[in-house]
């Protein structure tokens, strides 16, 4: 079993067959692994193990009957750090639109990036190798040359009516090029 941090707990569940129905004791114990873990209910077939840290654990379940005969089984639990995947998409040679000022549109951004994923947006103009970061659109005075927003209103508002589109606004006049847009997520 594998668990990714920050989740630091899981459920262990065992079972047994005892034809005589004379089970005296059920017990979970940690065989190996970091010292940090807690077995919430050691005397139950189903228990929670918590306070797990990165590493490999082995837990053992022992079932003992009234004649002190027993059976054992073990389970391995690996706890790993969640991988921070950084991805990017580049849209090449976009065309400026000018409904209320120069802007670029990437339709249906959620087909490329899951909804709600934090993003950074960059613009690269034809005449430079430099990527300029666009900032999220706000009501505050912004010193950024580029701002962006994602249209989340089903019917849009005014000229920006494509639900799910990413719009990037440019506060300048030179729009004779076909810029590239990079989105990091």
Distance from C-alpha of 117 to C-alpha of 106, rounded to nearest angstrom: 16
DSSP 66: T
Q: Residue 158 pLDDT > 70, yes or no? A: no
Domain 88-184 has what CATH class? mainly beta
Indicate the average pLDDT of the chain. Answer: 89
The domains spanning 2-81 and 88-184 adopt the same CATH topology: yes
Question: Tokens 């490999």, residue?
Answer: 56
pLDDT of residue 13: 94
Cα–Cα dist 101/95, whole Å = 13
What are the residues whose beta carbons fall under 8 Å from the beta carbon of 120, sequence distance 6 or more? 133, 183, 184, 185
- CA angle in degrees (0–180, nearest 5) for 153-158-161: 45
pTM > 0.75: yes or no: no
The top-level CATH class assigned to 2-81 is mainly beta
Across the beta sheet with 103-106, the strand order is 88-91, 180-184, 120-124, 132-136, 146-150, 166-170, 103-106
| β-bridge pairing 132-136 and 146-150 | parallel
Asked whether the predicted pLDDT for residue 129 surpasses 70, the reply is yes
Look-up of token digits 């960059």? 122
For the segment 122-138, the average pLDDT, to the nearest whole number, is 94
Tally the residues of the chain: 185
pLDDT tens track for 85-113? 568 999 999 999 987 789 999 998 888 88
- pLDDT value at position 110? 83
Name the residue ranges covered by the structural domains of the chain: 2-81, 88-184
């Amino acid at each position: 079993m594998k668990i990714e941090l920050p989740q630091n707990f899981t459920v262990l569940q065992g079972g047994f067959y005892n034809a005589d129905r004379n089970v005296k004791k059920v017990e979970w114990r940690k065989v190996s692994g970091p010292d940090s873990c807690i077995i919430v209910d050691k005397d139950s077939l189903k228990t929670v193990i918590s306070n797990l840290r990165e590493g490999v654990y082995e837990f053992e379940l022992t079932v003992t009957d009234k004649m002190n005969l027993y059976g054992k089984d073990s389970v391995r639990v690996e706890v790993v750090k969640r991988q921070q995947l950084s991805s990017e998409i580049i849209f090449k040679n976009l065309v400026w639109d000018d409904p209320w000022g120069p802007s670029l549109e990437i339709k249906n951004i959620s087909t490329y990036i899951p909804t709600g994923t934090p993003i950074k947006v960059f613009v690269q103009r034809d005449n430079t190798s430099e990527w300029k970061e666009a900032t999220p659109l706000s009501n505050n005075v912004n010193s950024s040359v580029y701002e962006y927003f994602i249209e989340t209103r089903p019917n849009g508002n005014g000229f920006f009516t494509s639900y799910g589109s990413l719009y990037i606004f440019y506060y300048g006049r030179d729009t004779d090029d076909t810029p590239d847009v990079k989105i990091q997520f």
